[in-house]
Every structure is written in structure tokens, then in C-alpha cells.
A and B are shown apart, each in its own frame.
Chain A
């Protein structure tokens, strides 16, 4: 019962304290607001960069040209063999007639060329998509040596460079976000430390009247929690409305129609929840860390 009383009293005192020490609380809240805003924007950018690179990577595929002599049985056997390869996501068969039709529809000059042939000059193909662009090379090499395969192409050098570049961009964005989270934690923790430094006599009095360390820490931890939550409100509101407006203004694309932004619903709320948790956790641990210093005897 006593523990519950201390717990609920700590929550009450934390709220009182935020308002009674208004200027100190405002300094901490503003610091949290500004730094969390930067983290929120970086999360939105990082999320989109990763989504765009994944989108573009998923467009990359291997085209397997089959030998002219391959029979229907050979083709279905080959298809099942390719499907069995680890990392192959989808295998679509395109006969030479289908490809001829597609190309003719794309350009009339192709149609004219094809008319001059009695039989189709094109080969039957498989279009293969893989789950990870970095596997394109190894899967293509595996397919090349199979029976009835004329060649397996995926763009080789240029695609390898693109895949490497995408993987680099992804890593850089993750590192930037992590670094920003650390900077945010450092700045918020230090602002809270300064605010608590100004109230160290309060902690001293609590110690002298016989409050247990837990009873001293709790109100400050709750106060840090409240400051973190209040500090995350503005960034959350700005990113939710800001992202939805930008998404709608740009029609969901950036640069061209094939580069899509992430749909705001869920994504922007997920980022909001991350910011809220980040604010609350940094606030709590920042306070705890600052109070602990004054509890040493």
C-alpha cells in the first residue's frame, strides 16, 4: 500500500513540478521538441530512401534466353529447376510470340522487322525476379550452366554498381538516424541535468527527511517522462500533417512516376509512435541519470 501511495504521489508531484518549475520545464521541453523534430524528419527521409531503393531493386530481373531446340517438357522442367533456386521469387515464362507482340506494340519499326521473317527471330524466355538484388549475379551464374539455357542476363556491370550504390545509401541513412538519436539523447539528457541541478536542494531535503532512493527518483523519472512526451507532441503533429500534405501535393511520387513515396497511412503514425517512445524513454533515463548523481553518499 505504501509503495502504491509513493507511486501515485510521485505522479502527482511530477505534474505539479512541471508547472511549478515552468521555465526549467519549458527549456527541457523545447530542447526535446527541436531535437526530436530533427530525428522525426530524418526517419521520414530514411524510410523513404530505403523504400525507394527497395522499389528500384525489385524492378531488377534476370532474363533467361532458352535454346531454340528446347521442347515444352524441357521448358517446364527448367522452370521447376529455376523455381527451386534459393532467392528466386517469381518465374514468368514469355514465349517468342508473346515477346514479338509486345515489341511490335511498343514500336511499329519492330513490327516491320518481324514481318520480314518467316519464323520469329526471338527466343523463348523466363523473366526471373529475386528477393534480394545482391543475389542477381549468383543466381544468373547458376542458371547459365543449366541445360537448354542460351544465356541469362541481368545488366551485369551497371546493375552491380546500382545495387552497391543502393546498399551504401541504405547503410548511410541508418547510420545518420542512429547518430541523430544519440545526439538527441545527449542533448535532452544534458538539459534535464541542468534543470535538476537547479533543484538539487530538493533532492538533498528528500534525502535528509529519510525518503528512500526510490521515493526520490520516482517523481523525477515521471517528470522526465512527462517532459519527453510533451516535447514529442509538436514534432509528431508536424510530421503527420506535413508528410500527408507533401505526399498529396506530389501525388505520391518523387522525381518521376516510378519513384514512389511511402503511403503516409501507418508509416507516418509508426514514425510518430517511435518519436513518442524516444521522447518518453530519453526523458525518463535522462532524469534518472541526473538524480542518481545526487543520491551518492
Chain B
């Protein structure tokens, strides 16, 4: 079942740089897709378009039935409530505890306190940080901080989890653990996962569908497990 569809998408920045050229791709519900490519290849632009941080210059970007390209600024927040985003630099609020950081996502939506607590505790449990609910980000390791970021991204039970180089700042062992968490979210909760990464090992080991973007062009769409033999990044 189609969940994301990009049709002839172009993105040219005001500086004249073309980040994406005529990109078309379909991603089904519940899929786990890696997006790979060199730095400045256009993969971040692709990822940002999905949660409407960027708008295409031409073409359509449909996420969960909504044409994101035509979405009015005042309506963007409704799309974002269906999407969880995990960043390379975690983007945690340093003065809030683990619990508060995760709850923050629900408080912003105006949810009741008694509804927030069980959802937050469940998300924290999924990422395995139950013992650290009262800790502040500076008291956590990089891997733990990334887990908090994942918990915050999934606390509202999004249909889509976007991960922008989530293991970029982590050592290989911690990266493996984080990938286990993300994989289990995909398998157990049925959440569609789209992950931009530079980490060849992870891509090879996970054997998922891979989209290869080079100079703004989608040059490869490798089905589940078929990427390893086409190593170019």
C-alpha cells in the first residue's frame, strides 16, 4: 500500500543550486528504506521534503495521502504530528529531563497530563531507558541521548519515522544498538522508516531497500537485500 509518493520532484534553491532533479519514487506503508549518497547529494533535501521543512520547486510529494507541496504553512503542524524525526545531533532540550523531553512532544499538542504519562513511559520503555527518566541530557551517553530522541519521535505513535543520520555521532557498537531499536519500531509497531545514512556497514548488515541519490538524481533503487553487490557509496 502506497504511503509516500514523489512525482517528478525538482528542488532548486534561491542560490541556483539544484538539490533534486526529476525524482520519482514510491514507498509503501511499513517499509524500511535507507537513503544513501555523498555529502550534498540531495538526500537531506529529500528527507526534509517529507516533513515539509523544504518545498519542491516542481512536482508533487504525497505523504499519507497529503500533498505536502501544496500544504499551507498554517497546516504543516498537522502533518508533523503524523511524523517522528530523529536527528544526528539529537536536538534534545538540555534543561529538561528525559521524561520531560519526551513529554514535551505531547504537551505541545495540548494532550491531557493523564494521557501523556503512560504514552511517555511506553516510549521510554521501548528505547530501554526506563532507569534514566529523571536524568538530564548531559548526564547521558551519546547512544542514550539518541534513544531519548527516538522515544520523543515515536511517542505520538507516528505513521512515519524519519531518521537523518541517527548514528552519525555514535561509535559502531552504539550504532548497532540504535539500529536494533529503530528496526524493532519498524517491525513491532509497523511504522514506516526512512533513514538517511553514510554508514555502509549498517546498510549492508540490515539488508533493507536502498535509495541511492547522486548529484540530486535518484540513480539507484535497490530492493531489500540487493544493495550489497552494488557498493558505490
The smallest C-beta distance from A57 to any residue of chain B, in angstroms, reads 56
Which one, B53, B74, B76, B105, contacts A209 given CB within 8 A? B105
Number of A-B contacts (CB under 8 A): 61
B230 proximity list for chain A (CB < 8 A): none
Q: At the interface, yes or no: A215 with Cβ under 8 Å from chain B?
A: yes
A20 to B226, CA, bound (A): 51
A210 to B108, CA, bound (A): 7
The smallest C-beta distance from B13 to any residue of chain A, in angstroms, reads 14
A3 to B109, CA, bound (A): 10
What is the 8 Å Cβ interface bit string for chain B, positions 45-62, against chain A (1 contact, 0 not)? Answer: 000000111010000000
Instruction: Contacts A2-B110, A215-B108 given; indicate if A210 touches B152 (C-beta within 8 A).
Output: no
The smallest C-beta distance from A109 to any residue of chain B, in angstroms, reads 85
Instruction: Contacts A205-B93, A215-B108 given; indicate if A210 touches B73 (C-beta within 8 A).
Output: no
Q: At the interface, yes or no: A213 with Cβ under 8 Å from chain B?
A: yes
The smallest C-beta distance from B57 to any residue of chain A, in angstroms, reads 15
Binding-face segment, B77-85, B174-182, B198-206: B77-85
Chain B residues bordering chain A, tally (CB within 8 A): 28
**In the bound complex, do residue B53 and residue A297 qualify as a contact, i.e. CB atoms below 8 Å apart?**
yes
Q: At the interface, yes or no: A120 with Cβ under 8 Å from chain B?
A: no
Q: At the interface, yes or no: A208 with Cβ under 8 Å from chain B?
A: yes
The smallest C-beta distance from A111 to any residue of chain B, in angstroms, reads 86
**In the bound complex, do residue A215 and residue B110 qualify as a contact, i.e. CB atoms below 8 Å apart?**
yes
**In the bound complex, do residue B110 and residue A209 qualify as a contact, i.e. CB atoms below 8 Å apart?**
no
A9 to B112, CA, bound (A): 11
Q: At the interface, yes or no: B91 with Cβ under 8 Å from chain A?
A: yes
The smallest C-beta distance from B53 to any residue of chain A, in angstroms, reads 7
Tell me the residues in window 96-110 of chain B with beta carbons closer than 8 Å to chain A beta carbons.
104-105, 107-110
**Interface range for A:** 20 to 34
Q: At the interface, yes or no: A131 with Cβ under 8 Å from chain B?
A: no
Q: At the interface, yes or no: A5 with Cβ under 8 Å from chain B?
A: yes
Which one, B76, B104, B105, B107, contacts A297 given CB within 8 A? B76
**In the bound complex, do residue B91 and residue A207 qualify as a contact, i.e. CB atoms below 8 Å apart?**
no
B76 proximity list for chain A (CB < 8 A): 207, 297
**In the bound complex, do residue B53 and residue A202 qualify as a contact, i.e. CB atoms below 8 Å apart?**
no
The smallest C-beta distance from B122 to any residue of chain A, in angstroms, reads 17
What is the 8 Å Cβ interface bit string for chain A, positions 177-217, against chain B (1 contact, 0 not)? Answer: 00000000000000000000000011011111111110110
**In the bound complex, do residue A211 and residue B77 qualify as a contact, i.e. CB atoms below 8 Å apart?**
yes
B156 proximity list for chain A (CB < 8 A): 209-210
A37 to B144, CA, bound (A): 48
**In the bound complex, do residue B95 and residue A21 qualify as a contact, i.e. CB atoms below 8 Å apart?**
yes
A208 to B51, CA, bound (A): 8
Chain A facing B: main interface SS = helix
A127 proximity list for chain B (CB < 8 A): none
**In the bound complex, do residue B110 and residue A5 qualify as a contact, i.e. CB atoms below 8 Å apart?**
yes
Which one, B82, B85, B112, contacts A208 given CB within 8 A? B85
**Chain B residue with minimal CB distance to A209?**
B105
Tell me the residues in window 1-22 of chain A with beta carbons closer than 8 Å to chain B beta carbons.
2-3, 5-6, 9, 20-21
Tell me the residues in window 191-215 of chain B with beta carbons closer than 8 Å to chain A beta carbons.
none
A215 to B112, CA, bound (A): 15
The smallest C-beta distance from A180 to any residue of chain B, in angstroms, reads 35
**In the bound complex, do residue A210 and residue B78 qualify as a contact, i.e. CB atoms below 8 Å apart?**
yes
Tell me the residues in window 227-263 of chain A with beta carbons closer than 8 Å to chain B beta carbons.
none
B91 proximity list for chain A (CB < 8 A): 201, 204-205, 208
What is the 8 Å Cβ interface bit string for chain B, positions 138-179, against chain A (1 contact, 0 not)? Answer: 000000000000001000100000000000000000000000
A206 proximity list for chain B (CB < 8 A): 104, 108
**Chain B residue with minimal CB distance to A215?**
B108
**Chain B residue with minimal CB distance to A206?**
B108
B80 proximity list for chain A (CB < 8 A): 207-210
A266 to B180, CA, bound (A): 70
**In the bound complex, do residue A210 and residue B104 qualify as a contact, i.e. CB atoms below 8 Å apart?**
no
B78 proximity list for chain A (CB < 8 A): 210
A3 to B111, CA, bound (A): 10
A21 to B96, CA, bound (A): 12
**In the bound complex, do residue B77 and residue A210 qualify as a contact, i.e. CB atoms below 8 Å apart?**
yes
**Chain A residue with minimal CB distance to B89?**
A201
A20 proximity list for chain B (CB < 8 A): 95
Instruction: Contacts A297-B53, A297-B73 given; indicate if A209 touches B108 (C-beta within 8 A).
Output: yes
The smallest C-beta distance from B42 to any residue of chain A, in angstroms, reads 19
Q: Which 9 A-B pairs have the closest CB atoms?
A: A211-B108, A210-B81, A210-B80, A209-B105, A2-B110, A6-B110, A20-B95, A212-B77, A5-B110
Residues of A bordering B, CB below 8 Å: 2-3, 5-6, 9, 20-21, 201-202, 204-213, 215-216, 296-297
Can you give 6 contacting A-B residue pairs, CB < 8 Å?
Answer: A6-B110, A207-B77, A207-B80, A209-B108, A210-B156, A213-B77
A209-B156, A210-B80, A215-B108 given; name 5 further pairs at CB < 8 Å: A21-B95, A206-B104, A210-B77, A210-B81, A297-B52
